Structure formats: structure tokens, C-alpha cells
Structure 1
Amino acid sequence: MRYLILNRTALTMRRYDLWLGPEHEVVLVTAAAAVPKDPAERAAVLAGYAHVECVESFHFDPAVDRLALALHEKWHFDDVLAFAEFDLMRAARLRASMGIPGHAPEDVMAFRDKFAMKVRLAASDVPLLPFAAVTYATDVLDFVAEHGYPIVVKPRRGGGSMDVEVLRGPEDLTGLFERNPELGTDDGAHLLAETYLDHELFHIDGVLVDGEVRMVWPSSQGDTTCLDIVNGLSLRSSLMDPEDPLTEPLREMTLAALEALPTPGSCVFHAEIFRDRQGDAGLVFNEIAVRMGGGMIEDMLELGFGVKPHEVYFRSLGGNNPPEVPERPLRIAGVTLFPPRPGTLVEIPEECPVPDVAVYKSYAKPGTVMSGAQFSTDKIASALATGGSRKEVEDVLAEVHAWFERAAVVTDAV
């Protein structure tokens, strides 16, 4: 098989060539930032590919599509693979243009477009919050008139919690309209509105291979949310205990959503489900993507299960000795991310003294002038922890949070 892989993730984390195996030819088109700068390390991670193209401007660059089609004229690819949120449609369009079977653009759109996704899920009785497409300002006003405040407005094809807004009253409409002037144009905006729920967020991550579930496991973000990190607060997540009464319902709801959508037979996936904190709404489905969750979820799953989800996928795809995935985690693992906040970073610790922290990393240097987080995965430091239960892990992460808040020093922005 000849594969074209579109990549923007650090290649030290994704050894596509090794996982697929030497009997396959793999051509890589990668963002230059994903390639190690050290010459020896760079040579090592690129050695197994039949051909490599490094692209400086990768995000939304149409030159990548042109390059891919030119490479196809020489290599005659059997498949095009991509695993980043903003490359899924690009890969689908390329497959269609190349005449390669696989996940078609209209299938991928059912995952990329949150409104199209929710329409399909609603038709299959997957529980959802009230939602509506928002094209014009009147759509927002009509939705509020029907459902009241608070509401959430977000891009239909966004990612990483970018540009997600919670409107709690009429005073928030002014800011929304200022930031989205297309709501007043004839062409309109491409947004989604839904009622806001005071919730605990669960994410469910896994791997499908030829229609068989190899992994599907829920995690909880506890009392933190993805929007917290954009507002400068830390984000935490922990694998659920096998005996937790919510573990199986979360798994079942995720598989029901995959069944309701045009899911490829083989993929990695990341779903989000809300639980009502205050009322009796119970579990309601938010969204699902056919790619791995960000924010070091992949690292947390590897620590908990002892296998890399992407390695399971690629080795299975290539028939190259895929590892067995345990039915339940070998240990409970969790992760916390510390986002940048506006100001100058004066001090940041290089090591973490908290017991049961498996890995701690800092990503910024003293003297860095920071703005706020733009994505829910932005971070200046992170920690992975293990324990015998979710509570033990959450206690460790809480201790890490308290320690980091004391140890890291940021002066306020002027």
C-alpha cells in the first residue's frame, strides 16, 4: 500500500512509518514545525519515509493540496490519512479528487459541522440540548426568545474551544454582534446556538478497527471546563474508574453516536458528553470527532492503558503486530494543563516535587511576555499523574495545581 499522510503533530510522537511497517510506502507532507530541529533527531524520524515534504505554511494553505495532487501523479496513493481537526476535510477532498475510496467529504462534514452532526444525532434519539443554526442576528434573537438565557454560540466548524461564547444576558449580545459582523450581512455567519448547561464534562476516547471497538473509555474534567483554560484557569482530566456507575452509560452513548453518524470503519475518536450539575437533564451528548482529543489526552490514555491509541490504529491498518488493548485501564491516570495568562512570566518551575506525578513539563521560559490562551490546549506547563482511583488522581492534580500557583510567577500585563 502507498499512503500519503498529512501531519502537523510532532513527529517524535507519531512514528507512522514504523507503525505501518516496511512493506508499505509512506509519503509524508508535514508542517515544518512538527519536525525536530536537531539534525540527528530529524534524520532519525524521517529516515523511514519514501518521500518527505516539509511545508512552512501548512494551516489552511491551498498549496498543500496542490502539492499532494502533484505527488499523487508520481506515487499513485492508495489512501490519504490525516488526524488533525482542520485536515480531515482536506484529506477527504484529496481522496475524492484522486479517485480513492474512503471517508468522503459529505461523511467528514457530518463530523466537522456541529449543526449537521446534531441533526443526525437528534434523528437517532441521541439526547441533546436544544440547538439551532445561526446565520443572522435574528436567528440568535429568535433562539433566545424561545429558550431564554444563558446560551452558547460557537463556530459550526471550529475546534479547540476557539471563539466559543456564553451569553448570559442581553448585554452580551453587543459583544457577539461586534465580533461577528457577518451576522448582519446577506451572506451571514456560520454559527451554532444551543442552550447552556451547568455541567460536568466527560470526554470519551477510543479506537475503531474494521468496525471493531479496540478502545472506548471515558474521562472526567471534574470541576474544570475547556472554557476555563481560555480564561486563564487550569484544566484537569482523569480516567473514570471501571466500577463508576457512569462509565458504562458514557461508553454506550458514545457508541450510539458513532452508529448514528457515517463513521469510518477504522478511526480514532473523541466524544464529549455533559452531565447536568443542577437539574435532572442527566447525560446529554455534545459532539464527537474522528480524531484524537488534544490537551495531552493521548498521553493520559497511554499512561493508563499502556498503549498508544494511534499506534493501535496504524499497526492494525498496516497488519504490523498491533498491541493488545486492555479491556480496562491498567492504572488510573490524569492530566492537568496550566495555560498562559496575560503578563510577563517571571518564574516557572522546571521540576515538580508532588508524589505520584509521572511526568511534569514546562514549555515557557522566564521573561516570556504572554497573552491569554487562544485554544483549550494552550499551556505553559503540564503534569501527568497516576493513582489507584479517580479520586486519588484528582487529589494529586489538585496538589499540583496548588503547588504550581505558588511556584509560577506572572506579572500583570501593563
Structure 2
Amino acid sequence: MPLWWGKQQVFENKAKISAVALLFCSQAFANDSVDVLHWWTSTSERGAVRFLQSKLLEDKIEWRDAAIPGGGGIGAMRVLKSRVLAGKQPAVAQLIGPAIAEWADLGLILELDNVAKNNAWPKTLSPTVNELLLHRGHTVAAPLGVHRINNLYYNAKLFRELGIAEPKTMDDFKRAALRLSAANITPLGQSTEAWQVATLFETLVLMEGGPAFYRDVFVRRNANAYLDPKFARALNRLRQMRAYTAYASNKSQRELSWTDIAQQFANGQVGMVIMGDWFKGELLTMGQKLEQQFACTTVPNTQNYHLYSIDSFVMFSGDYSQQTAQEKVAQLMVSPAIQQGYNRIKGSVSVRRDLDQKALAAMDRCAQSSWQTFNRGKAMQAPSLVHRMAADEKFKDAMVAQIQKFYLDDSISVQENQQRMAAMVRALNIQEGNTEQ
């Protein structure tokens, strides 16, 4: 056998071994690589995603990002439906509220019972969070954080300069608005974008009626509740709030994104904003210092209530080839280290109820108030309609559209809008076989 031939054989054998090893490694890596579809595209949200990616990589799992822009996840839901119909569903997808059960009904969602049992989720998670994850007795989602929506942010620097006290009542709010307006500063940063208008309104419904009335309106879908004087007061309050916004003096103002509003707030162009605590996360990412440049409190008359939305992800079953990696992702999402780091960036609070004093002390006062109020139980909680916690998409979209229409059109009286919304609720209840009133 010629020497060159032997060397050639050794070379070919090594090449084959290397190719097999490379193939094995690539397959192993692919098994631990998950495609994640979500709608987090702002600066702070991207920071939270990068944190999750880094933590998953420590456990040899690659988060392949599929971020879909669009306020409130509207675009992401459309993309998810089209991908599932095309047989190209992601391994992991952001789903929240009743949508989890709707997708689980289709038999497309991986059950995470072993993960929940092995990590004691029923014991360590807040009861409302744990219930949200269950479908027909099975755990079908992994939670990441709890957002509080009934927050009022004010420019602490401006308030100090103008001698304005933190608004604790609606009279305080009005006085602050008048003082800001006199200083040529827009009192309330508010977009005319439908979901942002409706976010403000659902906070006002909570203010006027409390959690029980709120649930009667948006969860139980009691048409008569829309004719209640408390609902009328919330509609009147929405019109009053509009007078403090830029829209009051410029009806042609374009629909600003919530991040545009955050930038205006950081620049000192507006004095106050009512928004979920993702707004705080965005301000911190901008370099704003809590208690120095801005401060966070609850909307007046809602300090004992928690209007909430819960970030959660589901795992699509497919051919179950990625089940091990998906279960690992779910486990890591609820781990204390990820809970602490993720929620600090995102602005939300932990889904865990077993936080110790050290973890609580590490939170700012806005986060402490959110976590403590949420964990006082359902009597204090109200699931957000706008942010997909209270009702299905069809009902939500109909309500949000009508609220925006009322906000923009002064020819619609409060009483007329009450009648319209009550009629819409009755019609939707009949269509869906929901006769509970």
C-alpha cells in the first residue's frame, strides 16, 4: 500500500469523524434552540429579551428572536395565526389571558405538568397567576411577570420646581394639571391610539366602581352595568381627562406610540402619564432616575386595587422534538434569578409569592406596592380588558373601538355611548351563547 494512500485514508477518516461530530453538535444545538414569537420591541422590552437570552444561553439554550411590532400584540397575534396555519408554529410564543385557553382547546399547546410539579408552582406562584396557567387541570403556560396598569407617573423634577405635591386625590390631580398648564406644560401625556385611550378608560372604571364593578362590566359582561351611574361617571371622567392632553388644543395630533409619550415625558413636555409599569421600565432605560427625574404612584382612589396584566409564554407541541428544551425554558422563566432580573428591566413584578424581605427591599416603592397589593388576593384585583386578561379578542376589540370613538367624537353623549355599549355587549353575548347578566 503506497504511503500516500494510507495518509489519504487517515485524512478521509478524520474528515468523516469531524463531519459526524459536527453533524451531532449541530443537531444537539438545534434541539436546544427555540424560536420565540413575541411583541416586545421597545428599548426596555428589548433589554428584557436580551437578559432572557443571556440566561438561557447559560443553560445552553438559544433564544431565536421573532419580535413582531405593534401595540398590545395585535400584529404578533396575526403572525402567530398565519404561522400555525402554515404549519410553521414557533416553539415558544407570548400568549396572555383567555387566549391561552383558546389555543389550548385546539390541542396545540405543550402541557407543562411535570415542570409545574417539580418546581412547586402551585405553592410558589400567586394563586391568580397559577389559575391562569391551568386548562382542564393541566398547566399549559409559563409566567414571567405581573404588570400593574393603574399607575400615575409624574415628572418629579417639574413638580419640585413648580411646588406641586404628589397627586393623591382627583382634586390634587386637577390642581397639578392647572399648575402645569399655567407653566405651558401639557398636564397629561395621552395618545389617541385606541388601546392607549382604552387603557386610560379601564383605569377610570376601576376608580369609579372598584374591582367588583369592574369585573361585572368587563369579565361577567353584564350589559346592565354599562347603564350604571358609575359607568357614566367613568365616561365623563374620560372626557375631563382629555381636556388636560395635547389633543384638547390640537385635534389633528397624530396617534403617538407609548414610547413617544415616554420620550415627551422624559423631555419635560408633559407632566403626568397614566400607564402600566412597562412605562417605568422604559424611563429607566432612558437613564431617568426614579424619585429624581420621575416618580410613580397609583391613580387616585385606586391605591388599594391592582389592574393587572400577566406576561406569559406557551410552548407549541408540534412533533415534540423540542420538548426538553421547551420545558427547560419554562422552568427557567419562573426561577428566582430570572424573575428578579427580568422584572427589574421590564418594570413588572415577580409572579412568585414566596419573595423574602431581601428581594422585597431590592424593589422600588412602585414595585413593592404592586407586588403587595396583587398578593392581597382577588378582591383587590381587576384583570385588564385592553391587555387581554378579561375577555376574548372579539369582545375586547369591540369595546376598545367604541371607547376610542367616544373619546374622539364630542357628538356622542355619555348616555348615548352607554346605550351603544350595552347594546353591543348584549349582541356579543347572544352570538357567543353567554346569557349571564
Instruction: Tell me which interval the TM-score lies in, with the shorter structure as reference length.
Output: under 0.3
Q: Higher strand share goes to which structure?
A: 1
TM-score (norm 1): 0.26
Determine which structure has greater relative contact order: mean sequence separation of CA pairs < 8 Å that are 6+ residues apart, divided by chain length: 2
More helix per residue:
2
TM-score w.r.t. the length of structure 2 is 0.25
Query: Which structure has the larger Rg over C-alpha atoms?
Result: 2
